[in-house]
Amino acid sequence: MAIFVDDNTKVVVQGITGRDGGFHSSQMLAYGTKILAGVTPGRGGQMFEDKVPVYNTVKEAVEKHGVNTSVIFVPPFGAAGAIYEAADAGCKLIICITEGVPTCDMVKVMPYLEERGVRLIGPNCPGLLAPGIAKLGILPADIVKEGNVGLVSRSGTLTYEVVYQLTAAGLGQTTCLGIGGDPVIGTTFMDAIKAFNDDPKTEAFVLIGEIGGDAEEQAAAWIKENCKKPVVSFIAGQTAPPGKRMGHAGAIVSGGTGTAAEKRKALEAAGIPVADRPMDIVPKLLEIWKK
């Protein structure tokens, strides 16, 4: 099993004819993802790689192919509109890969989606990859392996690094999920860890956080009270100076909150080992979870 996706996930790619959308759609198709349609306004009637019909609207794709999931590769100024369009057309899962979406747009998007029962992953994220089921986004398929470890991360590149190390150690994954590091995102750590906790195939999971906000502290408190599965974590940005933005828009320490030290303290108080380096995650996981 996996979280958020299954064999009934039917995909439309918004921006499929663009440079990034086209490249990653090819990769997703090669992995076996069920991309049934693409959308680019003004390009309706075309075919993508002679396999996927392109439409002008998501509504057309839903009506003709029953798609229920959208992966978005559009410029930042159009991302919010693309999310609204997918939700209005009936998609219940939306993965927005786009980087640089204005925070003010996302503040409006989130209550709109919540009212309609739509799950958003992202924006500014690598998406998710459920080994053997679907690749939705930009995570490299050649580093994953089917197995029993879940992974959720605010950092895209650290997602790739840790997944590679898990696979190299023979530890396959149920779902590899990058939620993004912007100040306002859809799916959160809390959403992911609750889903992993409820997933019978996920026997252990890895949580990769970073400085800024209090999402990791909230996750630690919930895990302490509710989760019996082994969890290992890592916090990026341990040497970041206070008040300086580091990478992600949400990765900023201010007012004495959101530091790596505070997050580590909360996680360890909840009984969650915190690795000093990404390369230490797998050994720590093996210490508390025997294969």
pLDDT digits (tens, 9 = 90+) for 91-108: 999 999 999 999 999 999
For the chain, the domains span 11-121, 139-288
Helix residue spans in 42-102 (DSSP H): 58-65, 76-89
Q: What is the DSSP letter of 102?
A: -
Helix, strand, coil percentages, rounded to 5, for the chain: 35, 20, 40
Same fold? 11-121, 139-288: yes
CB 214 within 8 A of CB 248: no
Q: Whole-angstrom Cα distance, residue 15 to residue 71?
A: 9
CA atoms of 17 and 23, how far apart (whole Å): 9
CATH superfamily label, 139-288: Succinyl-CoA synthetase domains (3.40.50.261)
pLDDT of residue 215: 87
Instruction: Please answer whether residues 153 and 215 qualify as being in contact, where contact means their C-beta atoms are separated by less than 8 angstroms.
Output: no
> Domain spanning 11-121 has what CATH number?
3.40.50.720
Catalytic residues: 248
What does the pLDDT look like over 211-253, one tens digit per residue?
A: 888 889 999 999 999 999 999 999 986 655 555 555 554 444 4
Cα 148 to the chain's mean position, in Å? 18
The CA distance from 65 to 67, in Å, is 6
37-42 mean pLDDT: 98
- Label residue 23 by pLDDT band (50, 70, 90): very high
